[in-house]
Structures are given as C-alpha cells and as structure tokens.
Amino acid sequence: MTQDMEGYEPNEAPPIMETLVNIIPNNPVESLATGEMLQIIVFALLIGFGIAMLGEKTKGLLSLVEQANEVMIWLVKLVMKLAPFGAFALIASAIGELGWGALQSMFMYMLAIILALGIQMMLIYGGLVSVWGRMNPIAFFKGFMPAMAVAFSTSSSSATLPVTMRSAEENLGVPKSISSFTLPLGATINMDGTAIMQAVATIFLAQVYAVDLGVTELLTIILTATLASLGTASVPGAGIIMLAMVLQSVGIPLDGIALILAVDRILDMSRTAVNITGDAAASVIVARMEKKRDYKNADELS
C-alpha cells in the first residue's frame, strides 16, 4: 500500500489558531461554493440559532430548510443504494493492485475502530450509567438491546428513533417527557461513534501517506472531528462524507477516503449502535437527576 504513496509530498498542516480563525466564514456563499465544511457548519449553526430566536417570523424559512433536508436525505439514500457496487469495485481494485497485504492493513484499521467503539460503549457509557444514572450497566445494555440491534441493521439514528424511545421508556424507565426531548436531540447532534471513526481514520490515512502528526495536528483532529460529528446527518454513510473536512484540516489528500470506503459499511453499523447508546445513557442520567425514573422497570444498584 505504501509504494503507491511514494510520490506524494504531504502538505504542512495549518496552525491550530489559524484553523480556529478560519472557522468564521468571511463569505458564506463562497464557503458553500468551495466546500469549506467548518465554515459551512458554523454558518448553519448561526442560521439555526436565528431561526429559533425569531420563532414565528421565520416559519416559512424553517419549512423550506426542513423540506431541503428531506430532499438531501432522499438523495443520500439513493447514492447509498449504489454504494455496495462501488465498494465491491474498490475491494477488487485494491486487492488487484496492492495484493492481500492491503487487506491486512484494513483489518487492523477495522479492529482499531471496533476496539475504540467497544471501550466507549462499555467503559464510558457503562460507567456513566452506573455512577450518574445509578443503574446496573448490565440491565441498561440488556434493556436497550432491541434499539441497538435496529441501529446496527439500519445504520441510521433517525430510522431507529421510534425503537430507541420505546426501549428507553419501557425498559430503562425514562419518562416520555424526557425521552421525547433528549433522544431526538441526541440522534441529531450526539455522534460519539462517528467522531471516533473520523479520528482513527484520519490517523490511519496519515500513516498511509506518511504525514507526520504533531500535538497541534492531533488537537486539530480532535476539534474538527467533534465539529464534523455534530454536523453529520443521521443517515447511512454520512460520517464518511464528513471525514473529508477532518482530512483537509491536517493536509491529508481526500483520495484516501477510497481506501476505507470499502469496509465502512460494517463500521457504520457499529458506530450507529454506539451513537444511540450514548443518547440512551444521557436520558437515563437526566431522568435520574430529575428524580423521574420509573424504578419498576429498571434494575437499580443497591
């Protein structure tokens, strides 16, 4: 895999202060035209805050944005229907050009992400549920397993949302007044699994292209991966699209996405399950803090 990258000369990543300054768009239209994802996300957040603050005055604009979002989701789903054929072609091309050694590198990449997702789910979420939610982690994962299974099969937090809410309310004791707010919000902005994938993928591709990553570059990856995960749509394959923004922030060529696209489907399924589990963990903690847990349906720690 390395021999094809010998002619590539890595670009020096911009300083982290420059990255922070460049987040603010000077010209939003130009940012949209040139694909400056960080600036687009910040501009979209500002527009969203403005719509929320103005309320009824922006009802028509809100409806337009929601309809445009539905159109884009439909287009993404259309592209994803063709993605398996492209993934097959990428795998065949990679094996034909690079040999079976390429599969060994991809296997280690997949293993690293799955291990990181497992740590996030079992240790981080399990620990938070135990300490802050005062709930048995085993009971938590057992009660939430139906939603995790649907998320794994659909790779979409939005598509899983009805099952997520039902599992949280019926099996975890989260009241509807809390789940109806925290879970839809989490399905939109809480993408821990996606952030993990983007960070690991960026480091993997940096090794492929022999790009040295210092402390500044690693901090930049953390920042951009977090922002990119917040702006990732809850539809299959959206995380790999937002990965382009993270790669650009540290000077890694976007061509590297083709190397990991072939194995991203199974990783997309796994990180979606992690994403919604984080939403459920937060809901349990909020319900506990508000003293609104339904203790009859949840196994409490003594």
- Name residue 74's amino acid: W
Compute the C-alpha angle 273/220/255, nearest 5°: 70
pLDDT at 161: 85
For residue 282, which amino acid is it? A
Predicted confidence band of residue 131 (pLDDT cuts 50, 70, 90): very high
Which domains, ranges and CATH numbers included, belong to the chain? 85-297 (1.10.3860.10)
The C-alpha atoms of residue 164 and residue 148 are separated, in whole angstroms, by 8
Q: Tens of pLDDT along 21-72?
A: 777 888 888 887 876 767 777 888 888 888 888 888 888 988 898 888 788 7
For the ranges 92-106, 117-131, 146-160, 274-288, the lowest mean pLDDT is seen at 92-106
Q: Assign residue 299 a region (left: φ > 0; alpha: ψ between -120 and 50; beta: otherwise).
A: beta
The stretch 86-100 carries a mean pLDDT of 66
With contact defined as beta carbons under 8 Å apart, do 261 and 87 qualify?
yes
Alpha carbon 211 to chain centroid, angstroms: 24
Global pTM reads 0.68
Does residue 302 have a pLDDT over 60? no
* Residue appearing with tokens 């403005």: 50
Q: What number of other Cβ atoms are within 10 A of residue 27's Cβ? A: 12
Tens-digit pLDDT profile for residues 155-195: 888 778 888 999 999 999 899 889 888 998 888 788 888 89
User: Does 144 have pLDDT greater than 90?
Assistant: yes
3-class SS string, 25-49: CCCHHHHHHHCCHHHHHHHHHHHHH
